[in-house]
Structure 1
Amino acid sequence: MTLLSSNRRTFLKQTTGIAALSALAPSLQASPYLAPRIKFSVVGINHGHIYSQVEATIRGGGELVSFYAKEPDLAAAFAKRYPQVKQARSEDEVLNDKSTQLILTSGIPDERAGLGIRAMKAGKDFMSDKPGITTLEQLAQVRKVQQETKRIYSIMFSERFENRATVKAGELVKAGAIGQVIQTIGMGPHRISLTSRPEWFFDKKRFGGIICDIASHQVDQFLFFTGSTKGEVLSSQTGNVHYPQYPNFEDFGDLTLRGDKGAGYIRVDWFTPDGLNTWGDGRLTILGTDGYIEIRKNVDIAGRTGGSHLFLVDKKETRYIDCSKQDLPYGTQLVDDILNRTETAMTQAHCFLATELALKAQKHAQKLTIA
């Protein structure tokens, strides 16, 4: 058995588990789903995030009508999850379908921008898993085609759009709960799970580097919570300090940002220990002039079960806010934007700026070495 085939089998087991929790077929779900308002398709399913992308779109009123994946085993797993959906014979078959308005992908990261360009040229809006773009050259091409076609190029920053506590924090900040935001601190640790990873996972040219890949989440949150529409990278560093057997891999990265309305610090890594009961203790701290919010995205390591934990400290008290029933509006907003040609889910400028800052931090990062 090859490394690639072995990794795919593990991937299939993992994504089946993920799908069981967050991507049940629509017929098994109750009220959260709107009646279909658009039709959409999937091309490329190399990461399990595709299931949350699909479900967000279905919740918002999208009807999944077809998909294409060149890997037979990944296609089979997707078809099992969505047996009613047509399996296309090629990417062109999907892109040439005049009845669909939106294309989703979680393909190999360095292939996503090219697919997005082809989708926009075919008259489709586009939603990518992060990272949606892996080089500054790709970004320039995507920006050019987006301007020419006026299609939507959306990147699903799931740590904001699919985390209920982070969505709630957005509402609290907008309502002035902590005053004016001064700084965000975003932490994105991950468990590496070596035996479950495909070969491209260890190749920086394919995944874009650790800041491009993981930290794009935190850059998005920095811009969103500070309200910044301009930004610059003050410093960044990356390193491969623990996995010399994978010379093209990066296991650590951090960066410091300055925006026109706030500051930010970000750290990402692949060092979540096996003793933690989830893949990573993701955290976000939002500092304001009148208080602060801390989010434990996936786990409260010494207390409550589950994820999406939000703590608010203001001038009066310290309190925990239950976010378990918080709506996740991204899918509905994106479908609205497709129908109305608006920008309620995320502005195009924000999407591209978050990507640009992450790519610049990646490109100019100093090398971290630990003796």
Structure 2
Amino acid sequence: MSRPDVVVAVVGIDHRHIYGMLQGMVDAGATCKGWWTEGELQTIAGFVKRFPEVPRVADRRTLLDDPDIDLVLIASAPHHRANHAIEAMESGKDVMLDKPGCISLDELDRVKKAVDRTGRIWSLDFSERFEVPSALKALELVRGGAIGTVVQTLSMGPHRLNRATRPAWFFDKSLYGGILGDIGTHQIDQFLTFTGSKTARIVTATARNVGNPRDPAFQDFGEIMLESETARGYARLDWFTPDALPAWGDGRLTVLGTEGYIELRKYVDIEGRAGSDHLFLVNNAESRYIDCANIPLTYFRDLAADVANRTQTAMTFDHAAEVTRLALEAQMMADGQR
């Protein structure tokens, strides 16, 4: 590629994660040539406010057929994402998707075949790691040996429901993939990454509707236990963040090693320090707090370089596909399908 900067386009803004996805690429030096979405969504006002200079197009083929566009960002409804990604890859574009990238093993198989056939990049923005500075610092410390060999990860992914802002597909498991197949991907990504594991086994998985009986196809609570050859992991996910919390969720991650542990309070330190990205490190030499709020994000910059250089530094396809497979298997186990 002769151009130093990546040109992107947006297909689907059904989820607000698209705001961070596009802003991350713009901050990495990319330019956005246009966006398309189906229908008139609540997310449009926020998108236009953030990116007023980016034009909307009436037909997504306008973007997919544009030879100047290198990377397509996809945040359409989950049951459309696999098809939109395959369509974009077959049009010669790399893709970055909001999670989940797929909601069935059949979709994942079709994605794998499309990647093999086209040679394009299929990347997932695991925002609970890629958009969290404290997670980047924690990974640096782990890989530097600060806590020895990782034994276990304990992760919590609570979310605020914000019912009034949610579209109909959000409450239908057949359309969003279930709580484990959806936000469970974040926790599985973190387990594989922090333990240095290429794969894992789902030991047990549960998913239920506890507090939303009027939406029987919605799951608001889930758990996953998994293990690799070297470590174990536990994750709890829910949609019960109370209104008084000054953040959308009290996301936490504890990484236990043979010589210490790290705890992240990603978004809020309840009744403690202000702001986000709080890291606590305890090992045999020290016990200290690290403010990580100003640590620069790297995923978007690395993905831009991957698009330009045909490399896989931001994330390998094998990792993205394995996280997706495990999340789908966990969801199937929880639903009694395996």
Question: Common fold, TM-score beyond 0.5?
Answer: yes
Partner of 2:7: 39
Partner of 2:213: 244
Q: Deviations over 1:276-305 (max 9, x none)?
A: 121111100001111000000111013001
Offset at 1:75? 4.1
Partner of 1:141: 110
Q: Distance in 2 between matches of 1:77 and 1:271?
A: 24
Partner of 1:159: 128
Q: Distance in 2 between matches of 1:247 and 1:190?
A: 19
Secondary structure of 1:349's counterpart equals helix
Secondary structure of 1:342's counterpart equals coil
Partner of 2:30: 62
The letter for the 2-side match of 1:230 is T
Give the 5 Å matches for 1:113-124.
113-124=82-93
- Paired residue total: 333
Offset at 1:71? 2.2
Secondary structure of 1:260's counterpart equals coil
Equivalent pair of 1:79/1:87 in contact (CA under 8 Å): no
Partner of 1:4: none
Partner of 2:184: 215
Q: Deviations over 1:38-82 (max 9, x none)?
A: 101001001111011001111222111111112235445433432
Secondary structure of 2:26's counterpart equals helix
Equivalent pair of 1:36/1:58 in contact (CA under 8 Å): no
Offset at 1:274? 1.7
Partner of 1:228: 197
Equivalent pair of 2:133/2:297 in contact (CA under 8 Å): yes
* 2:250 matches 1:281: yes
* 2:325 matches 1:356: yes
Secondary structure of 2:10's counterpart equals strand
The letter for the 2-side match of 1:248 is A
Equivalent pair of 2:4/2:308 in contact (CA under 8 Å): no
* 2:327 matches 1:347: no
Equivalent pair of 1:68/1:75 in contact (CA under 8 Å): no
Partner of 1:128: 97
Q: Distance in 1 between matches of 2:324 and 2:74?
A: 17
Q: Distance in 2 between matches of 1:238 and 1:297?
A: 24
Q: Distance in 1 between matches of 2:335 and 2:177?
A: 16
Offset at 1:259? 1.3
Secondary structure of 1:44's counterpart equals strand
Unaligned 5+ residue runs, structure 1? 1-34
Q: Distance in 1 between matches of 2:263 and 2:166?
A: 31
Q: Distance in 1 between matches of 2:335 and 2:187?
A: 19
Partner of 1:31: none
Q: Distance in 1 between matches of 2:329 and 2:213?
A: 25
Secondary structure of 1:182's counterpart equals strand
Partner of 1:205: 174
Aligned match for 1:48, one of 12, 16, 32: 16
Secondary structure of 1:187's counterpart equals strand
Partner of 2:162: 193
Partner of 1:85: 54
Offset at 1:321? 0.4
- The root-mean-square deviation of aligned C-alpha atoms, in Å, is 1.4
Question: What's the TM-score, normalizing by structure 1?
Answer: 0.87
Secondary structure of 1:364's counterpart equals helix
Q: Distance in 2 between matches of 1:210 and 1:122?
A: 31
Partner of 1:257: 226
Q: Distance in 2 between matches of 1:50 and 1:350?
A: 21
Aligned match for 1:72, one of 40, 57, 76: 40
The letter for the 2-side match of 1:176 is G
Tell me the percent identity. 47
Q: 1:366 to 1:89 in 2, by over 3 A?
A: closer
The letter for the 1-side match of 2:95 is F
Q: Distance in 1 between matches of 2:283 and 2:25?
A: 36
Q: Distance in 1 between matches of 2:270 and 2:301?
A: 32
Offset at 1:366? 5.3
Offset at 1:260? 2.7
